[in-house]
Chain A
Amino acid sequence: MSEPIPVSEPIPVSEPVPAGQVAAPLVRIRGLRKSFGTNVVLDGVDLDIGHGEVTVLLGPSGSGKSTLLRCINHLERPDGGFVELAGEIVGYRHDHNKLHELHAKAITKQRTKVGMVFQQFNLFPHLTVLENIIEAPVAVRRESKKDATARALALLERVGLGGRERSYPRQLSGGQQQRVAIARALAMEPQLLLFDEPTSALDPELVGEVLAVMRDLALDGMTMIVVTHEIGFAREVADTVVFLDGGRIVESGAPAEVLTNPRHERARAFLSAVL
């Protein structure tokens, strides 16, 4: 509650783009479709996200924002189209005009490149803060406990929670838990971070501390896709704002354009409701 809001000390961020070369986008989404039964949730989504870019996804409830995020790390299997991350198709192997779904092990490996932060934090309540953070580095990347712990402590310092490593998640406030969740995602040194309404479950006075951590990450060049209703954050931090409605992207562009002067009627209605 009363920790200082974190400042500086850069985080090592994914591979730098080789100089003098036009960077391919980190994420390429093409023709992505997903239905649940007869409910068409994603209806042909195309989206590019460059290295180090912050993309904010806006849209009314049920418009498919979460489903889109979950397709990016294959928590959801798309019905059509594909997601490409750093030149690799997510969840599939391309072979002779067919996309073969990968085995669980290969998908698991791809997922380590993408960190995810959930609305409900989803920290592991039976593990301490430290154990939450080092679990994946030790189990998946086979780091030594000592190295992982050292990095975890630095990350905790970074999100303004130095000294809380022995606490259990339930002993922390919502804002603190969400910052631990961010540290846990960062511990895998992902190339991309997904945020699904990271502040929606928080009391209003705790929203700021989480957004501050995210703003810092953005400044350090982390590539992020953020679903949020915090228009102020979008305006200030986003490189691109994408507006989703009925499973389609109806508007996308720089925040100044999309937020102040939306062309699409649904986007206008949504913004006037949120603001």
Chain B
Amino acid sequence: MTRSQAAEPATEPPDTQVLVEPPGSNISTAALDQRASDAELLAAKLVPLRRPGQWICAAAVLVLIAMLIHTLLTNKRFQWDVVGDYFTRGSIMHGLLLTLWLTAAVMVCGYLLGIGLAAMRLSTNPILRTLSFGYVWLIRSVPPLVQLLFWFELASLYPTLSLGIPFGHEFVTVKTAHLFTGLLAAFVGLTLDVAAFSAEIVRGGILAVEHGQTEAAQALGLSRGRIFRRIVLPQAMPAIIPASGNLLIGMLKATSIVSVIAVTDLLYSVQLIYNQNYLIMPLLLVATIWYIILTTLLSIGQYYVERHYARGSNRHSSPGFWELTRGNLPLFGRTRHDLAGLA
């Protein structure tokens, strides 16, 4: 506990005298010494609370990370040279691209359906409510792999699909086997799956918006569609995004189940190669590293989307991504501004 003896004039401007530590710990001991004069107290240097536990944890984690890196680099059987060789191979790039756009297409279409399903579930029309409920119940009950195979094998149930009057004349007829290629089956199956799960996420978000918001918008004469798009949905977003980020990243990896119906996504492209050359570990690492890169990019994107929809929700603007990252590194941050952690 440093305390200058001479009552030197308090030169520091008052706003630097921010209390960093919670009251209690030092005050009682100071009172036990002898009562310091106000001038002494004003001149005293503020010492932030030391957090040795934090440093010990950081050190332990650093050692573990060092060990991990060491084994990754020195264990020859990881075959990093092979990883490097295959990392940007043409067929793997094709697989990567397919994984990316299949995920994007599935998420966009799935969410459009999901928002519709959520709106149906919250409507006053009992038929729409029941339909939505039934759909979500059914899709959530069936494993995605089964759905995928179902669409892929649809031809065995319905050899042809027709467009026409119910129970009457048919205008167009197509052979199902031609229609549901592996890729389309994957797209349809996964989209329907995302629709069911996103419907529940969106519904939860909408329910979190106060009813007074809708009433105020109605009283202003806004149309129902406008109230949903402009007033309710943006306010539901903070509740929707974290779960949706989960769903998106989950779907990025879940698209790999399409390998069972021979769609050449990232994982299947890798499998095709290691089935021939038996370099299983390094090739799985290639796929894994790509998944890690994509997930990292998506997580950063999620942070910015969350920040965008948090506007108006507190009195201060939120920190930038780098400020936040630094604030979360125990070695750099936590000096002046105690930044909020990634929740």
Q: Residues of A with Cβ closer than 8 Å to B?
A: 73, 75, 104-105, 108-109, 111-112, 114-116, 118, 120, 122-128, 135-136, 139-140, 168-171, 181, 184-185, 188
Contact = CB atoms under 8 A, between A and B. Distances in A.
Closest CB pairs A-B (n = 6): A122-B216, A112-B221, A168-B312, A116-B219, A136-B220, A122-B212
Contacts of A112: 220-221
Nearest to B235: A126
Interface in B283-312: 309, 311-312
Contacts of A116: 216, 219
Given A124-B231, A125-B235, A118 B223 contact: no
A4 B64 CA distance: 63
Nearest to B223: A108
A170 B213 contact: no
A126 to B, nearest CB: 5
A188 B234 CA distance: 23
B212 A139 contact: no
Contacts of B217: 124
B215 A75 contact: yes
B241 to A, nearest CB: 13
A103 to B, nearest CB: 11
B51 interface: no
B314 A170 contact: yes
Contacts of B313: 125-126, 170
Given A111-B221, A112-B221, A135-B220, A126 B215 contact: no
15 contacts: A75-B219, A104-B223, A104-B224, A115-B219, A116-B216, A125-B313, A126-B311, A126-B312, A136-B221, A139-B222, A139-B226, A140-B223, A168-B311, A170-B315, A171-B315
B222 A125 contact: no
Interface residues of B, number: 24
Given A118-B212, A120-B212, A122-B212, A127 B312 contact: yes
A125 B312 contact: yes
Nearest to B216: A122
Contacts of A75: 215, 218-219
Contacts of A126: 234-235, 309, 311-313
A136 B223 CA distance: 10
B334 interface: no
Given A118-B212, A122-B213, A126-B309, A135 B219 contact: no
Nearest to A74: B218
A188 B12 CA distance: 54
B312 A169 contact: yes
Given A104-B224, A108-B221, A111-B218, A139 B230 contact: yes
A116 B223 CA distance: 16
Contacts of B234: 126
Nearest to B309: A126
Nearest to B311: A126
B219 A140 contact: no
Contacts of B210: 122
A109 B215 contact: no
Given A139-B230, A168-B312, 14 more contacts: A73-B219, A75-B219, A104-B223, A108-B218, A109-B221, A122-B213, A124-B217, A125-B312, A135-B220, A135-B222, A135-B230, A139-B223, A139-B226, A184-B220
Given A125-B235, A126-B234, A126-B235, A140 B213 contact: no
Nearest to A168: B312
Nearest to B237: A126
A115 B218 CA distance: 10
Contacts of B226: 139
Interface in B223-256: 223-224, 226, 230-231, 234-235
A75 B314 CA distance: 30
Contacts of A105: 223
A73 B217 CA distance: 12
A105 B218 CA distance: 11
A197 to B, nearest CB: 13
Contacts of A136: 220-222
A119 to B, nearest CB: 9
B220 A140 contact: yes
A115 to B, nearest CB: 7
Contacts of A139: 222-223, 226, 230
Nearest to A116: B219
Nearest to B314: A170
Interface string B301-332: 00000000101111100000000000000000
Interface in B164-185: none
Contacts of A115: 219-220
Most A-side CB within 10 Å, residue of B210, B220, B235, B314:
B220
A109 to B, nearest CB: 7
B147 to A, nearest CB: 36
B215 A118 contact: yes
B301 to A, nearest CB: 20
A124 B219 contact: no
B219 to A, nearest CB: 4
Contacts of B309: 126
B212 A124 contact: no
A258 B219 CA distance: 31
A105 B213 CA distance: 19
B215 A124 contact: no
Contacts of B235: 124-126
Contacts of A123: 216
Nearest to A112: B221
B221 A140 contact: yes
Contact of A188 (B218, B221, B230, B311): B221
